[in-house]
Amino acid sequence: MTRITARLLLLMCIALIATAVAQAQGDPHAAETARVNALVKSGNQKMHDGDFDGAIADFTEAIKIDKVFPDYVQGGPYLNRGLALEKKGDLDAALADFNKAIKLQSNNVYAYQNRAGLHEKRKEVDEAIADYSKAIKLNSKFPFAYRARGLLLLKQGKDAEADADFAKYLQLYPDGKDSLDKEIQKVKDERARKP
């Protein structure tokens, strides 16, 4: 399962739980909640199928409907749309959506993780490391931020710091050892080729 697929499934589960809780509490916005959840599910499927424009349209509609909810609930569709925009190659718009998601949900580990990955694509290493560090601060048991930050640190020649991140990653996710070893070797090979 890819990192993005796992995140999308988690976001869908969160949305479904929120719907169930809202309906159980007699939510006056139950219809809106159901509509947003349907749009998020549809958008996630479209993104999985490679229909990024369709996914973006679904998430945009969910954002419009979400305005009836408190800010802390509204971040999810921005995060999803940001992922679709990133996949489509619109990195500036994706960054704007990740920033909005973080503004609405400042404790969302996945928003920082995704924005960090986007910063990597944009060659903004310091910003990426800062976002991975923030994700770790928010959830010290989130292994993938350690892995990603460690690889960036290794590329910078900060081997001791990278090794500490890799150790923590493997402590939290031992099944990732083979994949990590290949990535570490790839970075070391790239470093050896540089003058």
pLDDT digits (tens, 9 = 90+) for 11-61: 554 555 555 554 555 666 788 888 988 999 999 999 999 999 999 999 999
Separation CA 116–CA 132 (nearest Å): 6
Q: Choose the final residue of a domain: 79, 106, 133.
A: 106
Question: What one-character DSSP code corresponds to residue 56?
Answer: H
- Predicted pLDDT of residue 116: 98
Residues 77 and 128 reside in one and the same domain: no
**Model pLDDT, residue 4:** 55
Rounded to whole angstroms, what are the CA distances from 175 to 114, 140, 172, 179? Answer: 22, 18, 9, 9
- Domain check: are 75 and 154 in the same one? no
Express as a percent the part of the chain with pLDDT over 70.
85
Domain count, the chain: 2
Q: What is the pLDDT of residues 109-149, one digit of tens each?
A: 999 999 999 999 999 999 999 999 999 999 999 999 999 99
pLDDT at 2 over 80: no
Answer yes or no: do 116 and 39 share one domain.
no
**C-alpha dist (Å) from residue 138 to 97, 108, 109, 119:** 20, 8, 6, 19
Query: Are 94 and 159 in the same domain?
Result: no
Q: What is the pLDDT of residue 33?
A: 85
Residues 118 and 181 both lie in one domain: yes
- 79, 4: one domain: yes
Q: Evaluate if residue 170 carries a pLDDT over 90.
A: yes
Q: Residue 18: its pLDDT value, please?
A: 55
Residues 63 and 80 occupy one common structural domain: yes
Q: CATH no. for residue 141?
A: 1.25.40.10
16/93: higher pLDDT:
93
- Mean pLDDT score of the chain, rounded to an integer? 89
Reply yes or no on whether the pLDDT at 101 is more than 70. yes
What are the residues whose beta carbons fall under 8 Å from the beta carbon of 82, sequence distance 6 or more? 93, 94, 95, 96, 97, 98, 101, 114, 115, 118
Whether residues 34 and 82 share a domain: the answer is yes
Read off the pLDDT band of 73 (50, 70, 90).
Answer: confident
Of 106, 129, 152, the one marking the end of a domain is 106
**Domain housing 155:** 112-195
What's the pLDDT band for 167 if we cut at 50, 70, 90? very high
- Residue 189 is predicted with a pLDDT of 94
Q: What is the pLDDT of residue 67?
A: 83
pLDDT score for 1? 47
Alpha carbon distances (Å) from 144 to 15, 176, 192, 194: 22, 10, 25, 27
